[in-house]
Chains A and B, each alone.
Chain A
Amino acid sequence: MIIENRILAEIAFASLTVLAYILSNFIYKKSKSLIFHPVFTSLITILLMLKLVNISPNEYVDNNKAMRFLLDISVVALGYLLYEHYDLLKQNLKAILFSQFIGSVVGILSVTLIAYLLGADNRMIATLAPKSVTTPIAVGLSADNGGFVPITVSIVILCGIFGAISGPFILKWFKITHPLSKGIALGSSSHGIGTSKAVEMGLKEGAAGGVSIAITGVFTSILIKILSFFLS
């Protein structure tokens, strides 16, 4: 089935997406397990629904411009996290900026170098480079450099879940004990999903995680632009 009217298609696909999302959130809240993270259940639900009405995923991806616009809006909204936790940022400005900057450098260089050494091609490297930043920013970075956007989304989410699950052990192992440092570590390495773990640990941890999402996003954007400039 192909929907002829573009606007109608946009509305139908946006509604489908919202519906799948609400359903998946319900399942996630009931199960309280990261395995049921709404992103995976939503994906499966959307694919099943498309199959049911015999619409190709291609059609769905091509007719979701409104959602793409809202994705950009959600990046802008992250500025609120910076504002809300401004005092925390100001009091620990050097610690936060310095660790995030080095963290962003390490994040980009380690993932690109290891992937390169293990035989990934240039397109895959562009796909992986933004893996530590929040998904809406990573989508833009991957698309700008010719990466596979859907793979970037999947890897970013998987890194988030991996970071949130392994985080408590790694923090303990490396004696990262200060509430701010815990939040910074989780937010910088595994963005929103890591930060939700930080929120469970405490208010300060959660706030530091929120600030880290925004700052790491900015640093990583700048660094990837510089890197791609020199490599192209």
Chain B
Amino acid sequence: MDEIKSIIHLIIGFLVLFICLIAGRLLASIIPGLLSPSVIGMIIFFLLLKTGLVNDKYVRKTSLFFVNNLVLFFLPPLVGIVLIDFNSIYGQLPAIIISAAISTILVMVVTGRLSEKYIENNN
């Protein structure tokens, strides 16, 4: 019985995510602008959970499955890397690596220090 229940939860969870994505696409086409359809879908999903319109026990399993296996779903676009003409971007490799590395450290330090300051001031 428990197995059937968990399969039903997985399916309900998927349907809820699907509906949120469709709603996100609709909203994105009505109000063209700031956010991509899937990010709008994410916000709708959060609001549905927060307002209690969707009970978290039905979506927990499916959501965590997707969150824990993100890598699986972006493998196809990644494979496109072998289709890129590397001769055309070879000269830009130093720019790519240096900018990405420095920026990653900057973001880490800035967000870490700022939040630390805020938390210290509050306590």
A184 nearest CB across to chain B (Å): 5
From A98, A153, A217, A221, B81 is in contact (CB under 8 Å) with A153
From A67, A102, A113, A170, B75 is in contact (CB under 8 Å) with A67
From B38, B77, B96, A128 is in contact (CB under 8 Å) with B96
Chain B CB within 8 A of A36 CB = no
From B24, B63, B73, B119, A70 is in contact (CB under 8 Å) with B73
> Which residues of chain A are within 8 angstroms of B38 by Cβ–Cβ distance?
71-73, 75-76, 136-137, 140
From A20, A84, A111, A140, B100 is in contact (CB under 8 Å) with A111
For chain A, the count of residues having a C-beta within 8 Å of the partner chain is: 105
Asked whether B79 lies within 8 Å of A114 as measured between CB atoms, the reply is: no
From B24, B35, B76, B94, A225 is in contact (CB under 8 Å) with B35
Asked whether B110 lies within 8 Å of A80 as measured between CB atoms, the reply is: no
| Separation of A176 and B18 alpha carbons in the complex (Å) | 39
- Number of A-B residue pairs at CB separation under 8 A: 316
Q: Summarize A's interface: helix, strand, loop or mixed.
A: helix
Asked whether B103 lies within 8 Å of A139 as measured between CB atoms, the reply is: no
| Separation of A50 and B93 alpha carbons in the complex (Å) | 27
| Separation of A116 and B119 alpha carbons in the complex (Å) | 35
By a beta-carbon cutoff of 8 Å, the part of chain A in contact with chain B is 13, 17-18, 20-21, 38-39, 42-43, 46-47, 57-58, 60-61, 64, 67-68, 70-84, 86, 92, 94-96, 98-100, 102-103, 106-107, 110-115, 118-121, 124, 128, 131-132, 134-137, 139-141, 144, 148-151, 153-155, 158-159, 162-163, 166-167, 170-171, 174-178, 180-182, 184-186, 188-190, 192, 212, 214, 217-218, 221-222, 225-226
A-B contact pairs, 23 of them (CB 8 A): A39-B78, A42-B71, A47-B82, A70-B66, A73-B66, A80-B64, A81-B67, A99-B111, A110-B103, A115-B99, A119-B92, A131-B104, A140-B36, A150-B78, A150-B80, A170-B105, A178-B116, A180-B119, A181-B119, A188-B107, A190-B104, A212-B111, A218-B39
By a beta-carbon cutoff of 8 Å, the part of chain B in contact with chain A is 14, 17-18, 20-21, 24, 33-39, 41-46, 49-50, 56, 59-60, 62-67, 69-84, 89, 91-92, 94-96, 98-116, 118-120, 122
